[in-house]
Amino acid sequence: MVVTMIGKTYEVKPPYTVSDEGITLYASGKSTKIPKSEIAQVYDIVVKPLTDFGEYSLDELGPMVIFDPDWYVWGLHLEHYVPVLLYDASESEDNSPVQCVPK
C-alpha cells in the first residue's frame, strides 16, 4: 500500500490497521498513527490482471500454452504491477453501501 501525504509518499507494509480516524503503522515494536486529515491519497499496488484473451489461452491451449508469450510473464512471476486508488481526500466521501453491477 502506498500512502501520500502533502509533500511525502510512504510505502506501507503490513502490519497496519485502517480505521475511520486514520492508519496506524506497526514497526519495530512501535506504533505510528497517521491521522486521516493528513492523508491525501491511498493506493494499493496489485498485479496487472490478464486480458480476456490471456485467461482464455491459459484455460484452452493446454500444453500449447508454452507458445503464448503472456504465459512466461505469468509463469515466471514477471507480472507488471498497477496502482489502484483506494482513497482520495480531494473527493467527497460516499458512505453508501457498495453495489455490484452485473456486466
Please check the confidence at residue 4 and state whether its pLDDT lies above 80: no
pLDDT of residue 47: 86
Exposure of 11 in the CB half-sphere (CA atoms within 13 A): 2
Name the pTM for this structure.
0.64
Q: How far apart are CA 86 and CA 44, in angstroms?
A: 7
pLDDT of residue 10: 78
Convert the pLDDT of each residue in 17-74 to its tens digit: 888 888 888 888 888 888 888 888 889 888 888 778 777 777 787 777 777 777 777 7
8-state DSSP, 20: S
The residue assigned the cell 507480472 is: 79
